[in-house]
Structure 1
Amino acid sequence: MKPSTDRMLTRIKSMYLYIKRRGNVTTQELVEEFGTTQRTIQRDLNVLEYNNLVKSPTRGKWVVTKRKTIVS
């Protein structure tokens, strides 16, 4: 895997765990926590949402779904 792909997957996994731990976060909180652009965070959230791991019940707020996951 390319280093950039590995970095992206690590960030997405960290974002998922952060949202799971906090329960409810905003996109802006994720930008500040991970020190990256809003566009990058949105792209990562789209990956998580596509895989049914997070959802946005209110615009700009994110929670994890009830889908069972195994994090290694």
Structure 2
Amino acid sequence: MSPSTERMLNRVKAIYLFINDFGPVTTQQLVDEFGTTKRTIQRDLNVLTYNNLVDSPTRGMWETTSRKVKIAQ
């Protein structure tokens, strides 16, 4: 796996865990927490949404879904 792919997967996992712990959170909170651009966060949220792991009940707010996830260490 390329370093950039590994970095992206680690960030997506961290975003999921952050939303799970502190959600619902705003897109801007994620930008501030992870120090990336809004576009990068949006791409990562698209991955999580596609896999039915997060949902946006209100525009710009994110929370985890009830889908069960096994987190690898």
Question: Do both share a fold (TM > 0.5)?
Answer: yes
Is 1:10–2:10 an aligned residue pair? yes
Q: Deviations over 1:22-72 (max 9, x none)?
A: 021000000000000000000000000000000000000000000000001
Listed as ranges, the gaps of 5+ residues in structure 1 are none
Moved over 4 A (4+): none
| Counterpart residue number, 1:38 | 38
Distance in 2, Cα, partners of 1:41 & 1:11: 9
Identity, in percent, stands at: 67
May I ask how many residue pairs the two structures share in their alignment? 72
The structure with more strand, counted as a fraction of residues = 1
Aligned CA RMSD, in angstroms, stands at 0.3
